[in-house]
């Protein structure tokens, strides 16, 4: 699948994920306001993709308000980009990386953003290989893999994190089926993950969110793989709401629960999962489904976009440079960084 976000002819181009699976619409964005809107309404989402979007957004800001001659306005635009979504650490990191490079002007910011894009692509291919190896080791045979939200190329420019592992297993002939849960309230699993699984030809069946734990308890899956938007120093991970429920169910069922995310998602500034800010997106998404009301007008709702899974529920964390076996007492501090695994299409800028 082609890159789902990129810099093309002086603009950010990205697939509008809010329109999938019915319509494949590519947005062409030349203004910071439009990119912030795309981030806020989840037209672009997923930790690695958000980092790349933030970096490209700095390029737009630097072209409109040169840091050397209009630093105040540039700073305001950068802050708006950085804070568009608070939980995913990659967004802030992508912005900060490009801001530093913008000291050499917009071209410097663009070079840094492109390098980040290529780095995330290479990371995705490496995670896929490390994760598939671990899955085969943990399961000892063909794999029935449950997953939550969307963690494929849509979330990571190419390939993906947790869904990248499932794709790798499929390519190796080791995937029995993928079992995505629909992921209310915005149905990223139902809308996006099934779309990606269909495009790669992987066998899959969609589950409602509440069925996931029960299916695990009855031996219906061999492995749960999930992504992360932030990983704390203690190994706790923030991911799409519903991940914690699957981790609890996996522990009850004796099923390995594996987090797959790039090293860029590890936040040394967040000591524990309790420190992770959880975005609440308001009641509108809960009381309606794609603009169709399912509750009476005025109904209030809690809508945390993410939850936090503590380290003691996680079997392993897979990144692009290492596998941390938390179930064996390993920690982020105790496992050194290793080499990336190269994929057939890893890295390499095309424009």
Q: Which residue has the tokens 């120093």?
A: 233
DSSP for residue 189: I
SS3 111: helix
Name residues whose C-beta falls within 8 Å of residue 108's C-beta, 6 or more positions apart in sequence. 101, 102
Catalytic residue among 209, 222, 229, 267: 229
Residue 341 makes CB contacts below 8 A (sequence gap 6+) with 125, 126, 129, 130, 320
* Residue 229 annotated as catalytic: yes
DSSP letters for 284-338: HHHHEETTEE-S-TT-----BSEEEE-GGG-SEEE-SS-EE-GGGT--TTTS---
- 64-76 in b/e form (b: 16+ CB < 10 A) is ebebeeeeeebee
CA dihedral 233, 279, 48, 134 (to 10 degrees): 50
- Which residues touch 50 (CB under 8 Å, ≥6 apart)? 39, 44, 85, 88, 90, 91, 94
Give dist(CA 135, CA 152) in Å, integer: 17
Task: Tell me the catalytic residues.
Answer: 229
């Amino acid at each position: 699948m082609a890159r789902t976000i990129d810099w093309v002819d002086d603009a950010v181009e990205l697939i509008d994920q809010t329109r999938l699976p019915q319509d494949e619409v590519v947005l062409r964005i030349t203004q910071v306001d439009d990119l912030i809107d795309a981030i806020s309404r989840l037209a672009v989402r997923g930790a690695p993709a958000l980092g790349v979007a933030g970096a490209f957004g700095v390029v737009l800001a630097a072209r409109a308000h040169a840091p050397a001659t209009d630093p105040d306005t540039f700073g305001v635009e950068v802050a708006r980009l950085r804070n568009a979504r608070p939980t995913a650490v990659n967004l802030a990191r992508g912005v900060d990386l490009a801001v530093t490079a913008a000291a050499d002007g917009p071209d410097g910011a663009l070079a840094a953003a492109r390098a980040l894009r290529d780095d995330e692509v290479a990371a995705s291919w490496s995670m896929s290989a490390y994760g598939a190896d671990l899955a085969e080791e943990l399961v000892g045979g063909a794999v029935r893999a449950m997953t939550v939200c969307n963690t494929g190329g849509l979330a990571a420019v190419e390939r993906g994190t947790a869904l990248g592992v499932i794709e790798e297993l499929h390519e190796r002939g080791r995937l029995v089926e993928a079992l995505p849960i629909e992921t209310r309230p915005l149905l990223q699993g139902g809308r996006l993950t099934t779309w990606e699984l269909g495009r790669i030809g992987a066998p899959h069946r969609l589950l409602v969110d509440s069925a996931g734990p029960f299916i695990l308890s009855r031996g219906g899956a061999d492995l749960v793989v999930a992504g992360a938007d932030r990983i704390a120093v203690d190994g706790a991970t923030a991911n799409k709401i519903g991940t914690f429920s699957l981790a609890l169910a996996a522990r009850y069922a004796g099923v390995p629960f594996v987090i797959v995310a790039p090293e860029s998602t590890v936040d040394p500034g967040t000591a524990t999962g309790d420190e992770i800010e959880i975005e609440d997106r308001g009641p509108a998404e809960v009381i309606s489904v794609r603009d169709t009301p399912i509750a009476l007008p005025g109904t209030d709702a809690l809508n945390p976009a993410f939850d936090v899974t503590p380290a003691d529920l996680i079997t392993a964390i897979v990144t692009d440079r290492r596998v941390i076996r938390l179930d064996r007492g390993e920690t982020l501090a105790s496992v050194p960084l290793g080499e990336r695994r190269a994929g057939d299409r890893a890295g390499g800028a095309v424009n």
